[in-house]
Amino acid sequence: MSESKPEIITSHAEYGAATGATEVAAAFPDQIKGKTIFVTGVATNGLGEATVLALAAHSPALLILASRTPSRIAEVVEKIKTAHPSVPVRSIALDLGSPDSIKAVAEDVNKTVGKIDILILNAALVRPNRYIDPLFNLDTSFSVNHLGHFYLTEMLMPSLEASAKSSPPMSTRVVVVSSLAQLASPIRFHDLNLEKDDEELPEEERPTPNPLLEAFTKEMDESGYRYFVAYGQSKTANTLYTIELAKRVKSKNIAAISLHPGSIQTNFDRQFGTEQADKMVAGIPAEFWKTRDQGAATTVVAALDPKLGEHSGVYLDDCQKGTLAPWASDEKVAARLWEVSEEYLKKAGY
């Protein structure tokens, strides 16, 4: 009996791991021209840069580039201006760990721009040492990677809705950059800060050992904090958030799609430090790694492919439909996470 072929839900079945964002953007110029696109986590030599450079080549109305550190955006803006001098670019200082910063940015964009056609939630934080966000009393990976983007999207909803009212069906998009790291951990509702042993948690909150990620999930700091598991929990939160968001905004003509961009070795160097990254990735074959342009390709597919409007809530990997861990695709858990996220924001006064 032959194995069933994976379901093809995109316009280009030939796209895969080797496809670049530049190629994808060139295939969908009409989905970029005249669009206002907001991207978080833009920094030189990162996936955010590769994403916006690919999009800039096809006449967007406005690119809004957000980062916690404005100097990290400046070099990207200069590259865009050099290659595409007619493309309007706006850089914004955005701290996803600060609801005040998020609120101020969103209110300003809603007032001065008024329409966002594509929102790409690309920013992500990995801390190799335990750090608890004092405002929420939450692990920073979770508060920034999930809760910050959750609140940003909520605050930008008026601009997304304005786009959706005058756009083709489901072409207004929220694109959530998750990760293969969703395989590393469920949502630990009883231990969001990773302070307990797995055996102390309900069975549905315990991770299942994964050989692919074993070298990463065992890594911990001096206090026993398993930072890649914490990161994995936040990436699971990204996929669950996308699933619930897709349900809630379907009637508004907005689609939500999550994805794994692929692994970029230079990103590991930046996040963990070169020595630590070398230790974690030792033995991984060279073909596992992507270039930045290849890493950004799945993001651009999620943002532009018209066929994906019929599959809001889906998770992509290598430019096609991907596979989630059971805990990262459970609709009941997604609804629970949404409620918990709202509670944290409400308790903090937002």
Least confident of 26-30, 270-274, 318-322: 270-274
Distances (CA, A) of 349 to 95, 136, 343: 17, 10, 10
**pLDDT band at residue 2, thresholds of 50, 70 and 90?**
very low
In this structure, the number of other CB atoms found within 10 A of the CB of residue 285 comes to: 6
Structural domain contains residue 11: no
Q: Which is more confident, 210 or 300? A: 300
Please state, in angstroms and rounded to a whole number, the distance separating the CA atoms of residues 299 and 152.
18
Token pair 């001098």 in the structure block, residue: 85
Whether 238 has a pLDDT exceeding 50, the answer reads yes
Is 121 in a helix, a strand, or coil? Answer: strand
- SS percent in the chain: helix, strand, coil, step 5: 50, 15, 35
Distance separating alpha carbons of residues 175 and 37, to the nearest angstrom: 11
On whether residue 74 sits in a domain, the answer given is yes
Residue 217: pLDDT band (50, 70, 90) is confident
Is residue 7 situated within a structural domain? no
Domain of 99, CATH number, reads 3.40.50.720
Residue at 329 is within a domain: yes
pLDDT in tens, 104-158: 999 999 999 999 999 999 999 988 889 999 999 999 999 999 999 999 999 999 9
Per DSSP, the three-state class of 1 is coil
Which pair of structure tokens corresponds to residue 319?
Answer: 């430019």
Q: β-pairing, 138-139 with 132-133?
A: antiparallel
- Ramachandran angles phi, psi of 59, nearest 5°: 60, 55
Q: What is the pLDDT of residue 267?
A: 59
Is 3 inside a domain boundary?
no
Report yes or no: 93 and 344 within 8 Å, Cβ to Cβ: no
Query: Which residues span the domain enclosing 287?
Result: 21-348
Nearest 5°: the CA angle 262, 264, 267 is 125
What is the DSSP code string of 20-51?
-HHHHHHH-GGGTTT-EEEEES--TTSHHHHH
Beta carbons of 102 and 348 less than 8 angstroms apart: no
DSSP string, 281-338: HTT--GGGB--HHHHHHHHHHHHH-GGGGGGTT-EEETTEE----GGGS-HHHHHHHH
Domain count, the chain: 1
Q: 177 by DSSP, 3-state: which?
A: strand
Q: Answer whether residue 317 is part of any domain.
A: yes
As given in the structure block, the two tokens for residue 6 are 């994976």
Q: Which residues contact 102 (CB under 8 A, 6 or more apart)?
A: 94, 95, 96, 148, 151, 152, 155
Cα distances from 219 to residues 12, 201, 213, 214, 276, in angstroms, run 38, 20, 10, 9, 10
Judge whether 13 lies within some domain. Answer: no
Chain centroid to Cα 305, Å, comes to 17
332 in any annotated domain: yes
- pLDDT above 60 for 273: no
Return the pLDDT at 32. Answer: 98
Residue 173 amino acid letter:
R
CA-wise closest residue to 300 among 79, 114, 6, 35: 35
